[in-house]
Chain A
Amino acid sequence: MNSKITDFEEYKKKLVKSSKKTSIKPGCKVSNIREKMQISKTKIALGLGLVGMCTSIIVSPIVAKKIKQNNALNTSLDEYQEDIVVPNTTFFINHNEVINHTAGHNHKEKEILEQLKEKHENHLVTFYLFYQSLMKDEQCRNHYKQVWMQVYNNVNNTDYTSLEDFLEKNNFGTYDELREYVALELQAENIREGR
């Protein structure tokens, strides 16, 4: 899992490096002669997605402060979570059943995770959405290490012991940093998928 993240981050870094090389050319001048061309929407979405990906690693520290001041993004992120997680599960109705299960044997949590993994390639995004949704329930908050954190590890072949452990292993200083990162990644995903 960690090598996959590293590969993804490396890919983005290479993308930015290449983009800078083509963009930063002091004194370079070409005529602004434009022509019209028929291009597929997919190609345009891919192009926009690349820009979106680059903003997530370069701009994140710059816009993070603005995000904190602007609840609009947080609100949209919360709405996004509701859309993705709640309608397709019965987790909250059956949380007592979930907590009484032995870790790794609860299919509802596993289903939630699988559903999120299908929709999001980035496992940091998946983890955040999974964690944030389950943490809304008080009993889950008290039992997360014993139950769904282990479910998460089983599904993803990881060995996280807690939220703090997850943050540390993925180089996030705080939970807010993870949240900001995920907000930007979701924006990039939206653009890549033409939403």
Chain B
Amino acid sequence: MVEAEVVPLENGKKYMILDTIEIDGIKYIYLSQIENDQEFCIRKLSLDELDILGLDSEEEYNKALKAYAEKEKSAIS
């Protein structure tokens, strides 16, 4: 077992934080639902990091996912 950070989202479900990546000054967090391994999502932090915000568009979603792939690639190769 390892200690992980968990946050509740607006649907009342808890998500563990898998990773955080900063893109253009915005921190994106990669979340996996605790009760359902098959569900993950990406959110971003407000600038003061007090709030977790929904993404604005599919383009932003793809950008955040791309950043994850690149981080993953550089870690493995």
Contact = CB atoms under 8 A, between A and B. Distances in A.
A169 interface: no
A27 interface: yes
Contacts of A40: 1-2
A55 B72 contact: yes
Interface in A2-56: 15, 18-20, 22-41, 43-44, 46-48, 50-52, 54-55
A27 B54 contact: yes
Nearest to A54: B65
A50 B65 contact: no
A171 interface: no
A135 interface: no
A73 interface: yes
> Contact residue range for chain A?
35 or more
Contact of A20 (B4, B43, B58, B76): B58
Contacts of A184: 69
Given A33-B8, A47-B18, A26 B54 contact: yes
Contacts of A24: 54-58, 60-61
Contacts of A27: 54
Contacts of A93: none
A62 B66 contact: yes
A190 interface: yes
A41 B54 CA distance: 27
Contact of B5 (A19, A28, A35, A54): A35
B24 interface: no
A58 interface: yes
Contacts of A70: 77
A62 B68 CA distance: 12
A89 to B, nearest CB: 25
Interface of A: 15, 18-20, 22-41, 43-44, 46-48, 50-52, 54-55, 58-59, 62-63, 66-67, 70, 72-73, 75-76, 184, 187, 190-191
